[in-house]
Amino acid sequence: MQTQHIVRSYDADLKYLASRIAAMGGHAERMVEQAVQALVTSDLGLARKVVEDDAVLDEGQREVDEKAIIVIAKRQPMADDLREIIGAIRISGDLERVGDLGKNIAKRVVAVTETQQPLRLFRGLEALAELALTQLKEVLDTYASRSTDRIQFVRDRDDQIDAMYTSLFRELLTYMMEDPRNITACTHLLFCAKNIERIGDHATNIAETVYYIVTGLQMPPERPKEDKSHKVMLEDMVDD
Amino acid sequence: MDIHGAGEGVRQRLLSARWVLAAAVAGIALVAIEAGADYRIAVGASLAVIAVAAFAPRRSLRERRAEREAEANRPAMGSITAEALAAAVSDPLVIFDRQAAVIHVNSVCAVAFPGLSIGTSLPLRFRAPEMQELIAKALTHGQPISIDYSEKVPVERFFRVNVSPVGDGGDLFAMIFRDQSEIRRIDRMRADFIANASHELRTPLASVAGFIETLRGPAKNDPAAREQFLQIMQAQTARMARLIDDLLSLSRLEMKPYLNPAERVDLKPLIEGVIDALNPLAEDSGVRIDANLGADPLVVGGSRDELIQVFENLLENACKYGRSGGLVEISVIHPGQQNGIDVSVRDHGPGIPEEHIPRLTERFYRVDVETSRGQKGTGLGLAIVKHILTRHKARLTVSSRSGEGATFTVHFPPPNS
Ligand SMILES: Nc1ncnc2c1ncn2[C@@H]1O[C@H](COP(=O)(O)OP(=O)(O)OP(=O)(O)O)[C@@H](O)[C@H]1O
Ligand SMILES: [Mg+2]
């Protein structure tokens, strides 16, 4: 009787962690979605809301960390369960970063809307965000279903995001060179694009963690990529 | 009705009404005696009462018995299974328990939300803050609640979601999704259509207006110029008409975001039909279309009309933009059913610079606006293709090297995946 009770509440602990991760994921998805929407529609109110919402994710991460530590200390889990708990800590870390990136996009809305920008630039950004959001959704769905069938697609989409980002980067650069008055707004848009690309990276991290939770193995290494020399890096320009 | 049956019926009636009749006759007799009336009047009245009882229509005992039996045989609610009831609901329906784990989904729901299976934890699948709150509230309050819920990817959808407890125990809950996408999209479509159409129509309209002005003024008496201008104007109006067609077709696709995958389509005759239809265009462009579709049928799930649009667009592009290559190849890579089916359209034209490739499926995106306009292009073709393929869970990949043509490949998932 006693052991059964313990096992049951242990299960409840793990379920609790998973549900907290899901809730964080939902918040992160929503923040990114709304940040990009605020940018495209110049909605300052929505941008402000996104900035405030970030606190929810910070809180979520703290909670997951604390709970995970308590569970480890109390139950001294092994193998599968330990992976589950460590995985939760890692995923909540990634989601918290996704929230930060979303917030960072939202903060730039004011600066971008000061000058009129052509719709074309926003379409590219929207398309990039759609890719990253699809990536994030698929990964979190994988976490829910614990099935790694579709995990390889994550890699494909990662490549797509990179390619799209590179293309946007060039377009924005050209646009800045055409008219120096565009530089301020375009720089902000560049950071936004970079943020979205990094959201995709965090989604890939989560995919790797899910793979590890489910199988106990590291995700198979990437297949060799084609020539990547065209890739334009913006690493040193990135801030937070 | 035969005589015997009728006599039997009268006897039955009188028998069944005997006590009432006796009372009535006694009553009449009493009144007659009291009033000192003629006994003939009393007898007449009594006979009248008996006649009415015998022949006036009344539900017979037998009738009533039959009715009672029918009632007992009428199918009762208890004889329907919960699954059958759920299957009859035309909106996505999920039954879940106190742990918010899925107990049952109806077939509409399995199509609308693939991946929801028995045991799936609902809050893990529906992560949006409002859904989390809805589920938590339903579990604690046990009252019916509704909210608005939207999903953005892979296709934008809007739902009115209702959760209510079902059954007596309070241990099961039903969640129903009423799809509001169409209503919401019609609203947005209007705004979008106006924005897009006005933006894209402005240029050709301005040019037509310009030519009209010239025709009425400086070129009034110049037949050669007139002919040339009229030709350009015709081309411009044709483009505007196409633009409106494309925008409408895109809006229609966006309006019904998910598709019933029940229809099975054989791509082979479908593609052959498209090639036949495009042959005049190919000839005009001096391009030959080579098809290498293999011998086997190529069956995928999806909508025939929409898939025709996909291959029409891809082949048309290959002929228009790859005309300098003179050859367009459409071929099938069919690596066993479990890997799905790949169809690729390859041309040998100038190709597409790498930085443009990821952007091709955006609305109105054109690599070279002038060439595309010259081809009466609207920049919506590939946006439509992408939309259709997303609905089919299929993907489009583009590979190209400048100067070596372009290859557009459609990957269809294996059937029933
Ligand atoms: N096979 C190809 N080779 C080179 N460029 C291509 C090819 N296919 C498409 N493109 C480029 O992609 C752009 C977008 O194509 P899309 O089909 O979406 O629009 P369109 O052909 O301009 O208009 P529509 O198809 O609506 O008539 C084209 O304008 C063209 O620049
Ligand atoms: Mg086209």
Whether A201 shows a pLDDT value over 60: the answer reads yes
According to CATH, what is the number of the domain A8-239? 1.20.58.220
How would residue B373 be classed by pLDDT, with cut points 50, 70 and 90? low
pLDDT at A3: 45
pLDDT at A235: 38
Contact between A22 and B152 using a beta-carbon 8 Å cutoff:
no
User: Nearest CA of chain B to the CA of A78: how many Å?
Assistant: 24
How would residue B198 be classed by pLDDT, with cut points 50, 70 and 90? confident
Q: Is the ipTM of this complex over 0.95?
A: no
**Gyration radius of chain B over CA positions:** 38
Domains and CATH numbers, chain B: 3-67 (no CATH), 82-179 (3.30.450.20), 185-255 (1.10.287.130), 264-412 (3.30.565.10)
The rounded distance, in Å, linking the Cα atoms of B184 and B160 is 11
Question: What residue's CA is closest to ligand 1, atom 1?
Answer: B318
Whether A227 shows a pLDDT value over 50: the answer reads no
Probe target for ligand 1 pocket from B360, B369, B378, B389, with the most ligand atoms within 8 Å of CB: B360
pLDDT digits (tens, 9 = 90+) for B28-64: 777 767 777 677 777 777 777 777 766 665 666 787 8
pLDDT at B126: 94
User: Nearest CA of chain B to the CA of A26: how many Å?
Assistant: 4
Q: Which of B355, B362, B417 is the best residue to mutate to test the A interface, defined by the most A CB atoms within 10 Å of its own CB?
A: B355
Q: Which of A13, A14, A15, A156 is the best residue to mutate to test the B interface, defined by the most B CB atoms within 10 Å of its own CB?
A: A15
Residues whose CB falls within 8 Å of the CB of residue B68, separated by 6 or more in sequence, listed in order: none
SS (H, E, C) chain A: CHHHHHHHHHHHHHHHHHHHHHHHHHHHHHHHHHHHHHHHHCCHHHHHHHHHHHHHHHHHHHHHHHHHHHHHHHHCCCHHHHHHHHHHHHHHHHHHHHHHHHHHHHHCHHHHHCCCCCHHHHHHHHHHHHHHHHHHHHHHHHHHHCCCCCHHHHHHHHHHHHHHHHHHHHHHHHHHHHCHHHHHHHHHHHHHHHHHHHHHHHHHHHHHHHHHHHHCCCCCCCCCCCCCCCCCCCHHHCCC
Mean pLDDT of B319-343: 86
Instruction: Note the helical H segments in B89-180.
Output: 107-112, 122-125, 129-141
State in Å: Cα B239 to ligand 1 middle. Answer: 14
How would residue B257 be classed by pLDDT, with cut points 50, 70 and 90? low
Q: Which ligand is nearest to the CA of B242?
A: 1
Whether B193 shows a pLDDT value over 60: the answer reads yes
Question: What residue's CA is closest to ligand 1, atom 27?
Answer: B377
Cβ(B313) to ligand 1 under 6 A?
yes
Whether A236 shows a pLDDT value over 50: the answer reads no
Amino acid sitting at position B24: A
Contact between B129 and A22 using a beta-carbon 8 Å cutoff:
no
pLDDT digits (tens, 9 = 90+) for A79-119: 888 999 999 999 999 999 999 999 999 999 998 888 877 77
Whether A28 shows a pLDDT value over 50: the answer reads yes
pLDDT at B104: 95
pTM for this entry: 0.69
Q: Which residues does chain B have within 8 Å of residue A15's beta carbon, measured at their own beta carbons?
A: 99, 121
Q: Which residues does chain B have within 8 Å of residue A144's beta carbon, measured at their own beta carbons?
A: 115, 120-121, 124-125
pLDDT at A101: 97
User: Nearest CA of chain A to the CA of B207: how many Å?
Assistant: 22
